[in-house]
């Protein structure tokens, strides 16, 4: 591979098919409102859900699983619609309860299949003890953790670099004064 050239993990056709699976959801106010909330660092809940949904969709398509359910359930899996960083507004034990809240919100706005319901409800497994009953829900649960770890690494990495820069500045300022 030529230096500096990144491997393309998906085709334009993949992106088109993914879009067709979630087109109606994307038009909704509920899904659009996820853009207002931060998931981790600089990643919005909407961006997090899109990436989890797309990666799960690609995996399911490759292995002949229900990629439409993966795309739709993946997009709706964190439709809890509040700022989970805010102790005043967030649900107590957010980690345990937000899948149920997301499912309720999704059911209020869309007509869901059993598989989509299962994906949303079980995406925090194994934290929420009862295991998923379909393979697609395991895939979303896996990519949710992969994407979350990445977002957290970027957030913490950025904060650590800022702290290092601050330390460097403080050190050289102290040195200049001596």
Stretch that binds Fe ion, among 23-31, 54-62, 65-73, 138-146 (CB under 5 A): 138-146
Q: Is 151 in the site for Fe ion (CB under 5 A)?
A: no
Q: Which CB sits closer to Fe ion, 21 or 53? A: 53
Stretch that binds Fe ion, among 65-73, 114-122, 137-145, 164-172 (CB under 5 A): 137-145
Residues 19-78 that bind Fe ion (CB under 5 A): 78
Q: Which of 77, 90, 75, 73 is nearest to 124 (CA)?
A: 77
Q: Is 144 in the site for Fe ion (CB under 5 A)?
A: yes
CB 44, min distance to Fe ion, A: 12
Q: Measured between alpha carbons, how far is 73 from 5 in angstroms, rounded to an integer?
A: 33
Stretch that binds Fe ion, among 25-33, 128-136, 144-152, 170-178 (CB under 5 A): 144-152
Q: Which chain residues interact with Fe ion by CB under 5 A? A: 78, 144
């Amino acid at each position: 591979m030529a230096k500096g050239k990144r491997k393309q993990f998906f085709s334009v056709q993949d992106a088109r098919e993914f879009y067709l699976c979630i087109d109606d959801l994307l038009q909704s106010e509920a899904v659009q409102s996820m853009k207002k909330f931060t998931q981790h660092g600089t990643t919005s809940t909407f961006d997090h859900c899109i990436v989890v949904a797309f990666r799960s969709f690609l995996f399911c398509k490759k292995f002949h699983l229900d990629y439409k359910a993966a795309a739709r359930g993946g997009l709706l899996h964190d439709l809890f619609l509040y700022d989970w960083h805010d102790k005043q507004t967030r649900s107590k034990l957010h980690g345990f309860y937000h899948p149920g809240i997301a499912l309720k919100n999704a059911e209020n706005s869309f007509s869901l299949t059993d598989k989509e319901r299962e994906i949303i409800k079980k995406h925090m497994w194994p934290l929420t003890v009862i295991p998923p009953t379909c393979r697609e829900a395991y895939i979303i649960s896996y990519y949710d953790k992969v994407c979350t770890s990445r977002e957290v690494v970027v957030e913490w990495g950025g904060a650590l670099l800022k702290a290092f820069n601050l330390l460097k500045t403080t050190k050289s300022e102290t040195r200049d004064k001596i």
